[in-house]
C-alpha cells in the first residue's frame, strides 16, 4: 500500500475567500500570473506545484519569474 498525502488546492481555497487564486505547474502559466498581478487590486494567491517530475532549472525559472513579477508590489509584513 502506497501512502499519499492529499494536496490542497490553494487556488480554489483562495477563490472561496474572494481573492484570485492561480495554480502554476510549469513556466507556460506565467502569463496568467502577469495578468493577475497587473489588474487585480486585491491579494493573489499563487499555488506553485513542483514535484520530482519537474527539473530544477524549471523550478528556478518559476521562482525567478515570481520574484521579478512581485518586485514593486506592496507586500504584507
- pLDDT tens column, 40-66: 888 889 888 776 665 555 566 666 766
Which residues neighbour 14 within 8 Å (Cβ) at sequence distance 6 or greater?
Answer: 20, 21, 43, 44, 45, 47
CA distance from start to end of the chain: 43
pLDDT of residue 10: 93
Say yes or no to pLDDT of 39 above 80.
yes
Indicate the domain borders of the chain. 13-70
- pLDDT tens column, 1-16: 666 777 889 999 999 9
Amino acid at each position: 500500500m502506497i501512502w499519499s498525502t492529499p494536496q490542497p488546492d490553494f487556488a480554489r481555497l483562495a477563490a472561496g475567500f474572494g481573492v484570485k487564486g492561480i495554480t502554476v505547474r510549469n513556466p507556460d502559466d506565467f502569463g496568467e500570473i502577469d495578468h493577475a498581478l497587473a489588474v487585480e487590486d486585491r491579494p493573489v494567491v499563487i499555488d506553485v506545484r513542483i514535484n520530482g517530475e519537474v527539473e530544477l532549472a524549471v523550478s528556478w525559472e518559476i521562482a525567478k519569474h515570481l520574484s521579478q513579477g512581485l518586485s514593486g508590489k506592496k507586500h504584507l509584513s
